[in-house]
Amino acid sequence: MHDHPRTYTTPLIKLDRISRELGLDVYAKLEYTQPTGSHKDRETLMMIQDAISRGYREIAIASTGNAAISLSFFSRINGLKCHVFARENIAGEKIELIKALGAELHLAGDSLREAFQTCIEYINQHNIYDANPGRNFKKIEGDSTISIEISYQLEEEPSHVIIPTNNGTLYVGIWLGFTKTKYRPKLIGAIAPTTKLADSIAGFSKLDEQELNKALNESKGTLIEVSDDEILNATKQLYKENIPCEPASATTLAALQKLNKNQQPDKPAVLIITGTAIRFPKTLRNILQESRA
């Protein structure tokens, strides 16, 4: 197995322009600086180590893209066979990346939940390591390192931490991390169930639903739904801060803008910027064209 740290620390930066506009100190936790461009590397590194230590040679996941790309890469360099299950209408540029990284792609159904069910059946038949949300606590442990880092990067307790939310794994992991620190911010899950833009969190699949509900309750958190117009506007604003994030990440700013109208946070807010758009030329081109309009 290749030697590498269990997780990689990511920068926390202040967003000057957005902070001025909102009258609030707003910070971005740049998870897209992870090796494959998303926070999923934190989950993957934990799971790869676990799979190898338990003698597995194959690993499988159902994914909308980022987790699949991460797992495909780290499986390849650590000598594991990776199986990715995805919905049949997954974006072509994601398919190309997953295949380029040597994973075997299985297309199943028209939703993440259908791909997930097919993946579980395959895992049970072939005794493969299960890297799925809702079924592997290593994912949550990996994500918990984000909030532990925030607690020593930010001198003042944040009022709110806003998290792109689909399965709930990241939300749960960030709450777990904060329970190990002195900070107890309110956690906001930014959701976009019917989005055509924020592909990574489309559908609000809630594969970690039980843990998500528990974390929402314990953190006194809430879910805020945002529209594609709001997401596009937030994405463009983040690009002006030199943050080329994928639209799913920009749901955090869109949710904060909604929150700010209703209950002005009195302490810093932190946006979890989960993934980069740089890997996805079509997405990037569409946003940049819109930005010039």
Give the pLDDT of the chain (293 residues) as one tens digit per residue: 344 446 789 999 999 999 999 999 999 999 999 999 999 999 999 999 999 999 999 999 999 889 999 999 999 999 999 999 999 989 889 999 999 999 999 999 999 999 999 999 999 999 999 999 999 999 999 999 999 999 999 999 999 999 999 999 999 999 999 999 999 999 999 999 999 999 899 999 998 999 999 999 999 999 999 999 999 999 999 999 999 999 999 999 999 999 977 666 778 999 999 999 999 898 889 888 876 54
- Is the domain 40-130 a CATH 3.40.50.1100 member? yes
| Third-level CATH fold of 12-39+137-292 | Rossmann fold (3.40.50)
Asked if 15 and 273 touch (Cβ cutoff 8 Å), the reply is no
Given this model, what pLDDT does residue 2 score?
A: 40
CATH 3.40.50.1100 maps onto the chain at 12-39+137-292, 40-130
Phi, psi of 96 (to 5 degrees): -60, -45
Residues 6+ apart with CB under 8 A from 13: 27, 28, 30
Tokens read off for 137: 């606590």
Asked if 31 and 272 touch (Cβ cutoff 8 Å), the reply is yes
Given this model, what pLDDT does residue 228 score?
A: 96
Tokens read off for 178: 């904060």
With CA atoms as reference, report the closest residue to 34 among 57, 53, 6.
Answer: 6
